[in-house]
A and B are shown apart, each in its own frame.
Chain A
Amino acid sequence: MNRSLCAVAALVALLAGVACADVSDEAARSTWLASTLTDDHLVVLERDPNLVAEKYAKMRSSLYRYFRGTAPQYWRDLADPQTPYVRTAFDALARDPVVLVGDPHLENVGSFRGSDGQIWAAINDFDIARRGPFHADLRRLVTSIFVAATSIEAQFAVMPDADRWANAVIDGYVDELTAIRDGALPLLVSGDAEQGAIVDDLFRRALRDGADREELLEYTEVVEGRRVFRTADVEPNGDGFANDGIEPATPEEAAYVRALLAQASFVATPPLTVTATEVGRRWGAGVGSYPNLRYYAIVPGVTLDDDVLLEVKEIRDIPSLPSLDAIEGLPFRTAGQRVAITASRYAARADGDVWLGWATDGGLSFRIRERTKYQKNIDVERIGENLGGGAWTDDDVVALGRIAGALLAQGHVAATWDGESNGRHLLALADARETLRADTLPFARAYADRIAADYLLFQDLLDTRGPLLGARVGWSQP
């Protein structure tokens, strides 16, 4: 017995020596970035590592694109005790989760058009939608304002009034809650009224290109009376990532997508029956979802001018937050269903996209939607150009910020997954504007600084570890 005790004690002493010098915060953050970005792309790294390298190259091309590519890191950071930390003053409200966008930011505000020709603005990206505390969404949206301001300042030599922009988001959020509390219908940000130069420009471009069926003109051509996809240059450009383009899918891919569409489910009732003729693979789109499978399918109309373009896009799982998910779980069978249903719940009008749906094949999940040029997105670079050129002013960004805040608020209150619970408890925030401001802005400023610092670390990682951040590729499949 004594011999055992002595031996164990000796081993304890030995092991104590094995520990443990401090690690600098920035070095640790750098390895964390490399690890978590690799974790987020494991499947794609095995499937097509070049696409991951191209995504990283696209993230490198601007601070805002880097921000767009790191939403899963944001959710991890929220669970990290070291995150620039501002305890929420709305603990009680935050405890009751609402349906979140998951990644709200300026460029996820876009345009839709209804069957009566009305055009309106709404949030349009729900790839990592989840249930959770409202302030996680609001802080992400306000952070995007600070990141956009920093990005614009660096690229276009203007001095944005970032605090004023950010305050506009809070004001828009609270104003919308106040209006709903007082009995008003949710704000419809439509092209029927002036919405500020930025959103007006969004509508103008959408109406122009949408009416021209620009999506058909740009991506397709008619050959022997049949619409087919043009061949585009989808090779990586000088910056290392592909320009947005479509090339005809291989016969195997086309058959695969047709089969997906044939068994797809749609939000609209009665269920739609989809028969696609041609299928193309879209490359170069998005940032976060850049390496995901993304196909376009032509659904023939009565005439060639009535043809419809559907996007079939791979959706992957969201970062796991065990204590949030443990009780309620996700009431969906697939990630594509989660995204499509959430998009429909956030929609200002039901006819913005009648083709919204989802399809599944084994472990792969897809979201389906119609693609028209009536759907345009806010573009931070375009804002920078116009601010730099003097065409737009801070007032226009403030107007956009208020709209973005309002759209988020109405989604938080109204969106529901189960048809019962929603975020009406958030209406209490209508009387807490200044507290919400103080609760949100310091976090967003600090986290935007974190993003900027991470962006430098990320560039350094690419330089030192290579285009895949040192990820081992192909080891699991000799």
Chain B
Amino acid sequence: MNANPLLCTSRVWPVLAAAAVALCGSVAVAEDAADSHQEPTSVQLELYGDLFTEYRNERREDGPNGDAFELQRALVGVEGSVGLGVASLEVESTRSVSPQSSFGIDGNALVLRVRRAEAGVEATGELWRVRAVAGVVRHGWVASTETGYRLRGMSEMVSERAGFVDPGDVGATAELGLWSDRLVVGAQLVNGEGRSDVERNDGKSVIGYARGRVLALDVHRGPLWLDLHVFGQEGSVGGGSARAHRLGTALTFVGPCPSAGLEWVRAWGVDDDASRVGMSFGAWAESRIATRWIGVHTRYDRIWTDVAFAEAKTHRTTVGLFSDLVEVDASRGRAGLRAYAAYELERSGDRAGDVAGVQALGNASRVRLVVELRGRGTVLGSGAGQ
């Protein structure tokens, strides 16, 4: 019942069919594009990087207190294209390798790992774009929702934090964008174990995702848009092939001054346990106050580690200020140097902590000071002869 050997259930067919259509489409379009474009091959190379680092002072309810400097993320990536060929490589540092790692000890090593390494083809027409890549690919849901998420320096999306989705996996992605990416539809076929683990069963995870721009306006201070995101995943994980099915939707709003969003994900199969059903909900907003030097942000996350129990949920509320110390272009929160100061309150139900029955092990309050540095630049962009 839990096993998901590839193609063994009828439910995967709709998503697989979508993937096949997109893949075939991308190849066909790529061939057309190759035939029709006789112009010299273009070459482009972009370099980008993120650095999130923070100081955190944490107090537990009647429990251990402490403070620490942490490097949340140090990431460098490169994206390149040669004609229709595209490739990207992204490397990140991570503090927490997992138990049973063959290198470093759990939580006590700073190691580099590949977050994304994909290659394939991409072709673009007047109203469309198709892309097909394989390798370590970004999870379609994370890639889609982060296009409208401006608080990544503070926290990943709640579904990722809950462990319901991994930001990357080994597999293939086929994506179709229409009307200048106002509608993006994609399908993925991946191992299901996530980017840092080896495949442990014969099943594959099939993911379908879409992003549609339901509102796009130009107001006097710049463009604003509202995107609707959806995704579904039928998958399996672990040596036991426990189900790992997911369904999610999100709304992201980005304007010239404020941005905001909502995210909801339901997870059938949690922590290798096929019988558990989890859920996550997140809401966030941020806005500058008149000037780039000062802004406010807030965020609320709720994670149900098992929806069968009322006490199996955690809440996290964050409020704070930010300042865009260095701004690159108008890409607010996407490039530049931003500093956050925040107060965070976390509460867990009786069954949601690391040790069920000890409620307060999950209850904490934190003061966080976060520095977020993000940048992107073209290091090589030319056509032949340039």
Given contacts A11-B230, A324-B354, A324-B361, contact A38 B240 (CB under 8 A): yes
Selected A-B contacts with CB under 8 Å, 28 pairs:
A3-B179, A14-B232, A18-B247, A28-B2, A28-B275, A31-B274, A32-B242, A33-B240, A34-B238, A34-B240, A35-B237, A35-B242, A40-B99, A42-B198, A43-B101, A80-B273, A80-B356, A81-B311, A82-B308, A94-B355, A95-B61, A324-B355, A325-B107, A329-B108, A332-B108, A334-B105, A363-B103, A475-B199
Whole-angstrom CA separation of A135 from B356 in the bound complex? 11
Q: With both chains docked as a complex, state the minimum distance between the C-beta of A102 and any C-beta of chain B, in angstroms.
A: 13
Return the chain B residue nearest A5 by Cβ. Answer: B214
Whole-angstrom CA separation of A327 from B234 in the bound complex? 35
User: Which one of B44-52, B62-70, B284-292, B375-383 contacts A?
Assistant: B62-70
A312 on the interface (CB 8 Å rule)? no
Instruction: Report yes or no: A97 in contact with B63, Cβ–Cβ below 8 A.
Output: yes
Q: Which residues of A contact B230 (CB under 8 A)?
A: 8, 11-12, 15
Whole-angstrom CA separation of A259 from B199 in the bound complex? 35
Q: Which residues of A contact B68 (CB under 8 A)?
A: 327
A391 on the interface (CB 8 Å rule)? no
Interface string of B252-271 (1 = CB under 8 A from A): 00000000000000101101
Instruction: Report yes or no: A136 in contact with B105, Cβ–Cβ below 8 A.
Output: no
Q: With both chains docked as a complex, state the minimum distance between the C-beta of B184 and any C-beta of chain A, in angstroms.
A: 9
Q: A18, A31, A330: which has the most chain B beta carbons within 10 Å?
A: A31
Instruction: Report yes or no: A38 in contact with B14, Cβ–Cβ below 8 A.
Output: no
Return the chain A residue nearest B2 by Cβ. Answer: A31
Given contacts A4-B179, A20-B245, A325-B107, contact A37 B306 (CB under 8 A): no
Which residues of chain B in 95-125 are interfacial with respect to chain A, using CB atoms and an 8 Å cutoff? Answer: 96, 98-108
If A41-B100, A320-B98, A363-B105 are given as contacts, then 16 extra A-B residue pairs at C-beta distance below 8 Å, sorted by A number, are A11-B185, A15-B232, A18-B12, A18-B245, A19-B268, A23-B243, A32-B273, A35-B237, A76-B271, A81-B308, A318-B106, A323-B361, A327-B65, A330-B107, A470-B201, A472-B200
Q: Which residues of A contact B269 (CB under 8 A)?
A: 23
Q: With both chains docked as a complex, state the minimum distance between the C-beta of B135 and any C-beta of chain A, in angstroms.
A: 16
B359 on the interface (CB 8 Å rule)? yes
Instruction: Report yes or no: B272 in contact with A327, Cβ–Cβ below 8 A.
Output: no
Instruction: Report yes or no: A333 in contact with B108, Cβ–Cβ below 8 A.
Output: yes
Instruction: Report yes or no: B212 in contact with A8, Cβ–Cβ below 8 A.
Output: yes
Return the chain A residue nearest B199 by Cβ. Answer: A475
Whole-angstrom CA separation of A302 from B329 in the bound complex? 77
B332 on the interface (CB 8 Å rule)? no
Q: With both chains docked as a complex, state the minimum distance between the C-beta of B358 and any C-beta of chain A, in angstroms.
A: 5
Q: With both chains docked as a complex, state the minimum distance between the C-beta of A30 and any C-beta of chain B, in angstroms.
A: 7
A86 on the interface (CB 8 Å rule)? yes
Return the chain B residue nearest A337 by Cβ. Answer: B105
Instruction: Report yes or no: A31 in contact with B272, Cβ–Cβ below 8 A.
Output: yes
Whole-angstrom CA separation of A16 from B233 in the bound complex? 10
B276 on the interface (CB 8 Å rule)? yes
B11 on the interface (CB 8 Å rule)? yes
Q: Which residues of A contact B276 (CB under 8 A)?
A: 28, 80-82
Interface string of A349-387 (1 = CB under 8 A from B): 000000000000011010000000000000000000000
Instruction: Report yes or no: B306 in contact with A81, Cβ–Cβ below 8 A.
Output: yes
Q: Which residues of B contact A4 (CB under 8 A)?
A: 179, 182-183, 212-214, 228
Q: Which residues of B contact A35 (CB under 8 A)?
A: 200, 237-242, 272
A88 on the interface (CB 8 Å rule)? yes
Return the chain A residue nearest B268 by Cβ. Answer: A20
Partner of B239, one of A37, A79, A136, A326: A37
Q: With both chains docked as a complex, state the minimum distance between the C-beta of A14 and any C-beta of chain B, in angstroms.
A: 5
Q: Which residues of B contact A17 (CB under 8 A)?
A: 11, 14
Q: Which residues of B contact A94 (CB under 8 A)?
A: 355, 357-358, 361
Partner of B15, one of A18, A31, A33, A329: A18
Instruction: Report yes or no: A95 in contact with B361, Cβ–Cβ below 8 A.
Output: yes
Whole-angstrom CA separation of A36 from B239 in the bound complex? 8
Q: Which residues of B contact A22 (CB under 8 A)?
A: 275
Which residues of chain A in 276-332 are interfacial with respect to chain B, using CB atoms and an 8 Å cutoff? Answer: 316-330, 332
Q: B305, B306, B356: which has the most chain A beta carbons within 10 Å?
A: B356
Return the chain A residue nearest B68 by Cβ. Answer: A327
Instruction: Report yes or no: A23 in contact with B63, Cβ–Cβ below 8 A.
Output: no
A420 on the interface (CB 8 Å rule)? no
Q: With both chains docked as a complex, state the minimum distance between the C-beta of B105 and any C-beta of chain A, in angstroms.
A: 6
B309 on the interface (CB 8 Å rule)? yes
Instruction: Report yes or no: A78 in contact with B355, Cβ–Cβ below 8 A.
Output: yes
Partner of A95, one of B63, B183, B210, B350: B63
Partner of B200, one of A320, A334, A471: A471
Given contacts A333-B108, A334-B105, contact A36 B1 (CB under 8 A): no
A469 on the interface (CB 8 Å rule)? yes
A269 on the interface (CB 8 Å rule)? no
Whole-angstrom CA separation of A14 from B357 in the bound complex? 39
A223 on the interface (CB 8 Å rule)? no
A115 on the interface (CB 8 Å rule)? no
Q: B15, B232, B362: which has the most chain A beta carbons within 10 Å?
A: B232
Whole-angstrom CA separation of A133 from B361 in the bound complex? 9
Which residues of chain B in 196-222 are interfacial with respect to chain A, using CB atoms and an 8 Å cutoff? Answer: 198-202, 208, 210-216
B58 on the interface (CB 8 Å rule)? yes
Q: Which residues of A contact B66 (CB under 8 A)?
A: 327-328
B164 on the interface (CB 8 Å rule)? no
Whole-angstrom CA separation of A28 from B14 in the bound complex? 26
Whole-angstrom CA separation of A475 from B68 in the bound complex? 39
Instruction: Report yes or no: B100 in contact with A79, Cβ–Cβ below 8 A.
Output: no
Q: Which residues of B contact A95 (CB under 8 A)?
A: 60-63, 358, 360-361
A226 on the interface (CB 8 Å rule)? no
B29 on the interface (CB 8 Å rule)? no
The 9 closest A-B pairs by CB, nearest first: A35-B238, A15-B232, A38-B239, A34-B240, A31-B240, A28-B275, A4-B212, A81-B312, A35-B240
B353 on the interface (CB 8 Å rule)? yes
Which residues of chain A in 418-435 are interfacial with respect to chain B, using CB atoms and an 8 Å cutoff? Answer: none
Return the chain B residue nearest A328 by Cβ. Answer: B64
Interface string of A107-147 (1 = CB under 8 A from B): 00000000000000000000000001101100000000000
Q: With both chains docked as a complex, state the minimum distance between the C-beta of B194 and any C-beta of chain A, in angstroms.
A: 12
Instruction: Report yes or no: A363 in contact with B102, Cβ–Cβ below 8 A.
Output: yes
Instruction: Report yes or no: B242 in contact with A318, Cβ–Cβ below 8 A.
Output: no
B249 on the interface (CB 8 Å rule)? yes
Instruction: Report yes or no: B245 in contact with A40, Cβ–Cβ below 8 A.
Output: no
